[in-house]
Amino acid sequence: MARDTVPAAPARPLRRDAELNRRRIIDAARVVFGSRGLEATLDDIAHYAGLGVGTVYRRFPGKEQLVEAMFAERMDEIRALAEQALEAADPWQGFVDFTWQAAELHADDRGLREVMLSNVFGHEQVAEAKARLVPMITKVVERAQRSGQLRADFVPTDLPLIHQMIGSVIEYTHVTQTHVWKRCLALLLDGLRAEPGKASELPYPPLDLQSLDDAMCNFRLPRSGDRSGIPR
């Protein structure tokens, strides 16, 4: 006669100090990955958090687990922006606001740009969060198209490419004028209107010749074997 199966014990919640350390690690990772990208190490994050390396490795055995925990939260933030866009009275304005707000998150977070535009890290939780995000973005796009304001040939997969373009501008100009990407995005959005209208007021001045030359001088081609494709 087979023995009765003993149910597994429920996972114990983290002690208060352990949970505080976990939050401290994630907050530090947002800063470090945000400024340095996913090339940063767990040692870098431990140093920034003011914790021992062993403490970080006990909570997150590898960088993959930390990336997933942190960026799944960021994906939920973007999903919340999409939900707000769907509640906007004007579908076009909802689409524009979502595109701007998502771009601002990308502009402030290099690690987020790398996660959103690649599958190198965050295979499980981040992939699931992305899957939940896609239907929301699709609704934002289709709603703006049904209103007759967004060009009919625009598709949801165009949005990541727009963010890739904006990310490239950010990387190219970060040593000269860090907000010139806003000018570029305003120009792009004007081009997405179904019918030509009054041009938007550009929110940032153009690069002058000296600033453009500075950007050229500081631009670095991706290193051989660099998986992110983003200059360092």
Tokens of 138: 């699709």
Which CB contacts under 8 angstroms, 24+ apart, belong to 213-220? 214/175, 214/176, 215/172, 215/173, 215/175, 215/176, 218/175, 218/176, 219/172
Give the pLDDT confidence score for residue 99 in this predicted structure. 95
pLDDT digits (tens, 9 = 90+) for 67-110: 888 888 888 888 999 999 999 999 999 999 999 999 988 888 88
pLDDT at 135: 93
The pLDDT, as a whole number, for residue 196 is 77
Q: DSSP readout, 1-59?
A: -PPPPPPPPPPPPPPHHHHHHHHHHHHHHHHHHHHH-TT--HHHHHHHHT--HHHHHHH
Q: What is the pLDDT of residue 73?
A: 82
* pLDDT beneath 50: ranges in the chain: 1-4, 6, 9, 224-232
pTM for this prediction? 0.76
| pLDDT tens per residue across span 108-122 | 888 887 877 677 765
